[in-house]
Structure 1
Amino acid sequence: MGSHMTLGTPAILFSAIALIMLAFTNRFFVIAKLIRDIHSDRGNRPDLQVKQIPNLRKRLNLIKYMQAMGVIAFILCTVSMMFIFIEHPDIGAGIFIASVLCLMISLLISLWEVMISTKALDIVLADREDEG
């Protein structure tokens, strides 16, 4: 199974996970800013803001879960490297597979969040069309 696995294999995933986590963190900051903007601008267009709240709440939760799965993938990748380093490549390979699965779950949650994000934009666009 993992007898041919070297430190280089999880090391490649290690850097990819770090970049993905950065992208997820940026998405979190965008959502946080949107929520703060809605809170500070309560008097302007409350009907539109109320329509956005369920989407924002769901997106915030999804970002939390995709970040959690990304962190778990990161930790598992590190542990995998440790087992390969101490010359237990089969254990390292098994943990590496778990890391890849966590990363895949994180990416699928990210895709789900993007789909919800487009619904939120549709709400804003529909509201704009109603004005015009």
Structure 2
Amino acid sequence: MEELTLTTPSLLFSAVSLIMLAYTNRFLSYAQIVRTLKTEYDLHPSKITAAQIENLRSRLYLIRMMQILGIVSLLLSVVCMFLIYVGLQTFAVIVFAISLLSLIASLGISIGEIIISVRALELHLSAMEHRKPE
């Protein structure tokens, strides 16, 4: 097995940072949508708005998991670099592998969240198609 160097785990920094930025932007846009839907629901309660709020709740939970796993991946990369620095190569390899698995899990959850989001948008498009102006 080739020895792990400080360069290898440091490569994850830029990738994970960009992913975390995307996750945060997604979270902030959902937070704004939730606030808007809550106001709408308070003024005009409906089953559709309640369902949209529930859908957003599940998507927010997924984003939270994505963010947590992304942060764990980044944290473990730093721990891996420290272990390499102090000469604990075997432990560094194990920690780096766990870091990569965390990143893989985060990205996998992201795929699931995107699928749910697209389904929600398809429902909106379908509802609009049924109300086409003549």
Instruction: State TM-score, norm by structure 1.
Output: 0.92
Q: What is the aligned residue count?
A: 131
Equivalent residue, structure 2, for 1:58? 58
Equivalent residue, structure 2, for 1:111? 111
In the TM superposition, structure 1's runs of 4+ consecutive aligned residues that sit over 3 Å from their partners are 43-48
CA distance in 2, matches of 1:86, 1:19: 28
- Structure 1 residue ranges without an equivalent (≥5): none
Pair 1:27 & 2:26 matched: yes
Identity across the alignment (%): 39
CA distance in 2, matches of 1:16, 1:89: 23
Higher RCO (CA-CA < 8 Å; seq separation 6+): 1
Contact 1:84–1:92 under 8 Å retained in 2: yes
Letter in 1 for 2:38: H
Equivalent residue, structure 1, for 2:69? 69
Once the two structures are TM-superposed, the CA of residue 47 in structure 1 deviates from its matched residue by: 4.1
Letter in 2 for 1:104: I
Q: Which digits, 9 at most, give the CA deviation of each residue in 1:46-82, with x for residues without a partner? A: 3432231221111011001111111111111110010
CA distance in 2, matches of 1:56, 1:36: 11
